Structure 1
Amino acid sequence: MIGFDPLYFLMLGPALLLSIYAQLRVKSAYAKYRDMPNTGNRSGREVAEQLLRTRNLDVQIEEVSGWLSDHYDPSARTLRLSPDVYHGRSVTAAGIAAHEAGHALQHAEGYFPMHVRQTMAPVTMVASNLSFVVIFLGFIMSAMGLIKLGILAFTLVVVFQIVTLPVEFNASSRAKILLGQYNIVSGDAAKGVAKVLDAAALTYVAAALSSILTLVYYLFRAGLLGGRSDD
């Protein structure tokens, strides 16, 4: 496992290819529908405001710098939109704004997978930063206890990635339904929203697959999954 290991790239190859494909789809869909106006000609901010208003949610909407930096912060009850989405009146802007509003609706309704993800987030961040270092040191020192501890920490990352999938899929599903229900998009615009959101969802699938295969690799190299420990 230390240094260059062809097995690592062989095992992670499918996830890497899927990740590249997903990113290309996101960029393609984003660019294609960025210039197509949404049916209601509303800005992303206006779309989010309308959808939040349907549930009487007290959620702030802010502009944040960056590209595709859009997110909902449940701790601050704030929906943050990138400039293109915040000001944009395109199909892309409407879809992304509605998706983030979908997360706010999940939060308000106590959507269980979102609650689990939110609870896991702080611990997962620490586990993500430390797991590789602990596993690496475990192999250097031939310390199986450290290796197992690192693998256990990385397992939290895998669970977090898996829990993220229903959260993101559900937010996209809500977005598609609400955008059509309130006539913000229809016809070709609705199809465009679906393509933008489906492409974005694929990036989460790629991330989950990558984390799962990485865990399998660690287990194999540690001799815990039919492999041989690199002691």
Structure 2
Amino acid sequence: MFFHPMDFLIIIALGLAMWAQSKVQGNFRQWASVQAASRMTGAQAARYILDQEGLSQVKVEFSKNGTLSDHYDPSAKTVRLSDQVYQGTSISSLAVAAHEVGHAIQDSTNYSMLVLRHRLFPLANIGSQFAPFLFLGGFLLGLTNLIGIGIALFAGAVLFQVATLPVEIDASRRAKNKLLEFGMINNNEEKGIGKVLNAAALTYVASTLMAVLQLIKFIMIFRNRR
């Protein structure tokens, strides 16, 4: 009943997402064993870049949520780094720490796509929670309008993911540039930084593609039912 030819593309996108996630973990592990010549920890690198960018008010804290739980909290103006990144002196540690600082820099400059992403978050949150129930209710009860409402809410969640993609890519670009600009990595280490950051970006590409394909599938089903 719920099978649709678009499912083949979604399965391919899902496979790509799983491969990308394994690529992230693999690249992180590989370059986590390579010490940066600067011997700076991720926390030190984050603090240095923030201070150089005039963001001394942004805090750098240890995150207790486990491996690769690193993130920037805009409400608390805090960069939170996992144990391996916070204390690590590897290429991976510097790459991830600088990436999160990239988000803090975006926040301080009101980077347009980050602003859009923040504005879309409430809609995306509602869409991700209620759209599946509206889809299911619409199909079971034969209520096409209910499916349409579900699609509208799901579209908000997809738009949030689409906006996230350039935000993440831009943060990685800023990360690499700042690490080079402030001499925290040399030209030989740039390759490792790029591999860690590019693998992470690929996960966002795959998840965005999957979400867009799912939205197209639901729209096609909606049109056919009407």
Q: Bin the TM-score by the shorter chain.
A: over 0.9
Secondary structure of residue in 2 paired with 1:36? coil
Task: Spell out the pairing of 1:16-165 with structure 2 (5 A cutoff).
Answer: 16-57=14-55, 58-64=57-63, 65-165=65-165
2:31·2:192 contact (CA, 8 Å) conserved in 1? yes
Look up the match of 1:208: 208
Unaligned runs of 5+ in 2: none
**In the aligned structure 2, how far is the partner of 1:191 from the partner of 1:43?**
19
Secondary structure of residue in 2 paired with 1:188? coil
**In the aligned structure 2, how far is the partner of 1:152 from the partner of 1:39?**
51
Task: Please provide the CA RMSD for this pair.
Answer: 1.4
Secondary structure of residue in 2 paired with 1:61? strand
**TM-score when normalising by structure 2:** 0.95
**TM-score when normalising by structure 1:** 0.93
2:176·2:194 contact (CA, 8 Å) conserved in 1? yes
2:95·2:193 contact (CA, 8 Å) conserved in 1? yes
Per-residue CA deviations over 1:24-61 (Å, capped at 9, x if unaligned) read: 21111101100111121111100100110012211111
**In the aligned structure 2, how far is the partner of 1:26 from the partner of 1:86?**
18
1:11·1:217 contact (CA, 8 Å) conserved in 2? no
What percentage of residue pairs aligned between the two structures are identical? 36
The CA deviation at 1:189 is 1.7
Counterpart of 2:51, as a letter, is R
1:43·1:94 contact (CA, 8 Å) conserved in 2? yes
Structure 1 pair 6–120 and aligned structure 2 pair: CA distance change class (3 A): closer
**In the aligned structure 2, how far is the partner of 1:215 from the partner of 1:134?**
14
Counterpart of 2:7, as a letter, is F
**In the aligned structure 2, how far is the partner of 1:6 from the partner of 1:130?**
22
Secondary structure of residue in 1 paired with 2:38? coil
**In the aligned structure 2, how far is the partner of 1:152 from the partner of 1:28?**
37
